[in-house]
A = this chain, B = another copy of it.
């Protein structure tokens, strides 16, 4: 089921809540108040209550939200209740860091393939993933991989994105700081490290 009425901004925060809930569960908690969750994830509790109201979880007075139930609910909404396979394109420094990143499993992600255009890298194994040649991207279509992570230099990003779209990829997470054009039914999310850094100085004391 797709929850059509959930605003993008709420969807953006759901993984933040999910992370907070998974951490709380690891700490042995079974329930959490919206105030505690707010402190934990850095979103105010009124916003949390409003976001959760979109899918009808209002918590229980005096008990708060049941972590197990809410975790399942958010995972279902985000379609993370099944294992989501992703392909990585670009195994330079950033790509290698992504392959070694321990945080994907928590959300049910599996990096199932990695591609590079450097013949010296093709065939090498990083974290049990054999690096394939980018010319083999079209074969992704048969492998039930719907997501891709682009970690190639800026100049190559559009070309790689177009190849991924042709190979049936429906969602792209991209690190290259540039705009790319894809069909409307393909969702692109950009991580621009500098853009995130750009929010920091605002909060710093003058001087």
Contacts and interface: CB of A to CB of B under 8 A. Distances in A.
A193 B77 CA distance: 19
Interface in A145-181: 146-147, 149, 154, 170-173, 177, 179
A173 to B, nearest CB: 5
Contacts of A96: 93
Contact of A23 (B12, B16, B179, B203): B179
- In this complex, the member of A101, A147, A198 whose beta carbon has the largest number of chain B beta carbons within 10 angstroms is A198
Given A79-B202, A177-B103, A193 B191 contact: yes
Copies of this chain, how many?
2
A195 B15 contact: yes
A80 interface: yes
Contact of A79 (B16, B107, B187, B204): B204
Contact of A194 (B23, B109, B146): B109
Interface residues of A, number: 60
Contacts of A79: 201-202, 204
A106 B199 contact: no
Interface of A: 2, 9, 11-12, 14-16, 18-19, 23, 40, 77-80, 84, 86, 92-94, 96-98, 100-104, 106-107, 109, 146-147, 149, 154, 170-173, 177, 179, 185, 187, 189, 191-206
A192 B196 CA distance: 11
B197 A154 contact: no
B170 A84 contact: no
- In this complex, the member of A11, A192, A194, A197 whose beta carbon has the largest number of chain B beta carbons within 10 angstroms is A197
A160 to B, nearest CB: 16
